Amino acid sequence: MRIMPIAFLTAILAAISPVALAQSSLAQSSSSSASTTSQASTWDKVEGNWTQFKGQVKEQWGKLTDDDLLQIQGQRQQLVGKIQKRYGVSMEEADKQVQQWEDKVAH
C-alpha cells in the first residue's frame, strides 16, 4: 500500500469543499452540540472519500491491517473499535485519539 504525502491529502481536503471546511470551523467555535455536528460533517467527508483517507489513517495507526481498513470503510465507530482492539486501549482512549485525528484533518 502506498502512503500519500500529507500535502497531497491536504490538497484533496481543500478541494472537497472549502465551504464545508469553513462551516466546520465555525461549528467548532460554537457550542458542544455544534461540535458534534462538525464531527459528523468531518466523518461524512471521511466516509465519502475513504480511499483517500485510508493512507493517512494507516500512517496514524500503523498496527491497523489492510483488512481492518476494508472493514472500517470510513465508519468512525469501526475505527475506534479497531484502534481499541489493536492497541489494547480503552474505548475512551481510542475515541480521544480519533477526535484528535479529526481535529487535524478538519483544519
C-alpha cell at 57: 489513517
Predicted TM-score (pTM) of the model is 0.62
Please give the pLDDT value at position 72: 94
pLDDT band (50, 70, 90) for residue 42 = confident
CB 53 within 8 A of CB 101: no
For 6-106, the fitting CATH number among 1.10.1470.10, 3.20.20.120, 1.10.8.640, 1.10.760.10 is: 1.10.1470.10
CB 45 within 8 A of CB 20: yes
C-alpha cell at 104: 487535524
C-alpha cell at 105: 484533518
Reported as a single tens digit per residue, the pLDDT across 46-103 is: 888 888 889 999 999 999 999 999 999 989 999 999 999 999 999 999 999 999 998 8
Kindly list the domain boundaries of the chain, sorted by start residue.
6-106
